[in-house]
Amino acid sequence: MKKIFVYILILASVLGQMAPLLAQPKPATKKQTEKLTYDVYFHLGFIWAKAGQGDLSFYEETLADGTQMKHGQLAAKSLNVVEHIMKVRDTLDCWMNNQLIPSEFIKRTHEGKYNSIEHNTYQPKWKNSSAVLDSKNVASTNVKIHRWLKKGKEAAATRDTTFTVNEPAYDMLSLFYIARSLDYNTIKKGTKLKYACFSGLKKDWINVEYKGVEQIELRSGKHHTAHLVLLTFATKGQESTPLKVWLSQTPEHRPLKVIIGLKRIGSVQAEVVE
């Protein structure tokens, strides 16, 4: 269940911190520009069991020194039977510049007796600091990861590690916004893009593959024409089960529906509440 709620990048509900953590300075101004609510279901044949719910939020922030930031927030909470089996309360936050290059990522996880905080900071080295600070202008990135972990009554443990990569560095949430920012009207069907993604204490690769336009129907009965995108972890030459994401054809590419198949049986699906 843990990987379901971590991998589905559309669940939400605001959660508090579980341990002291340094984060982005409090913004001087903060404006919410997006809030999307989703229902999450376990699906098997004729069975549709509501398993979770959440919100995906986006903010435009200005720090006291005038720096402008984009702040994405994703959180997940379990409901119904899942709540009794293993209570889930996960929150992901990422801060990015106007070109979606991340500077910080925080993942707070509370799943049953498992509690953790993952805190990534990114320090990109620019090829030209006076040019546009986008992915093409990144020479390398220094990634610092701090992890706090506590299981049940065990004493809390911390670990720190640092990576340097010769490309832009992302996390699960900032990469989701990258996928939403692509111009699918100019991308050929079958195109696969590869990004460096840091999850836990290791580096992975995530492939973003464009599968074209499809007609979809939500459980609400509403129909949409949407772009289908597959997100897969690619580790040691092997790809994980793909996360299927249907994005609206509107400029903001709202995530309308997400499906991930389970290894043993059924799937988990998330749909926007309209």
Q: Which tokens hold the place of 184?
A: 């699918």
Q: Rounded CA gap, 16 and 152, in Å?
A: 18
The mean per-residue pLDDT over the stretch 236-260 comes to 90
Residue with tokens 């992890």: 147
Question: What's residue 41's pLDDT?
Answer: 86
Under 8 Å between Cβ of 169 and 162: no
Lowest mean pLDDT among 34-38, 84-88, 208-212: 84-88
The mean per-residue pLDDT over the stretch 225-247 comes to 88
Residues 6+ apart with CB under 8 A from 237: none
The per-residue DSSP string of 61-80 comes to EE-TTS-EEEEEEEEEEE-H
Lowest mean pLDDT among 167-176, 184-193, 225-234, 236-245: 236-245
Lowest mean pLDDT among 77-81, 144-148, 149-153, 229-233: 77-81
Q: How confident is the model at residue 18 (pLDDT cuts 50, 70, 90)?
A: very low
How many other C-beta atoms are found inside a 10 Å radius of the C-beta of residue 53? Answer: 19
DSSP code, position 5: H
The mean per-residue pLDDT over the stretch 155-161 comes to 91
Task: Give φ, ψ of 235 to 5 degrees.
Answer: -125, 125
Q: Rounded CA gap, 110 and 68, in Å?
A: 31
- Residue 86 pLDDT greater than 70, yes or no: no
Q: Which tokens hold the place of 126?
A: 């620019």
What's the predicted TM-score (pTM) here? 0.85
Q: Is 3 helix (H, G, I), strand (E, B) or coil?
A: helix
Mean pLDDT for the chain overall: 85
Residues 6+ apart with CB under 8 A from 199: 171, 172, 233
Kindly list the distances between the CA atom of residue 125 and the CA atoms of 47, 70, 212, in Å, as whole numbers in the listed order.
50, 20, 35
Q: Which tokens hold the place of 67?
A: 């720096």
In this predicted model, which residue has the larger pLDDT, 249 or 43? 249
Most confident of 69-78, 101-110, 138-147: 138-147
Q: Is 129 helix (H, G, I), strand (E, B) or coil?
A: coil
Task: Provide long-range contacts, Cβ within 8 A and 24+ apart, for 136-141.
Answer: 138/101, 138/167, 138/168, 139/166, 140/164, 140/165, 140/166, 140/167, 141/165, 141/167, 141/168, 141/169
pLDDT tens profile 51-72? 788 889 999 999 989 999 999 9
DSSP code, position 139: E
Under 8 Å between Cβ of 41 and 49: yes
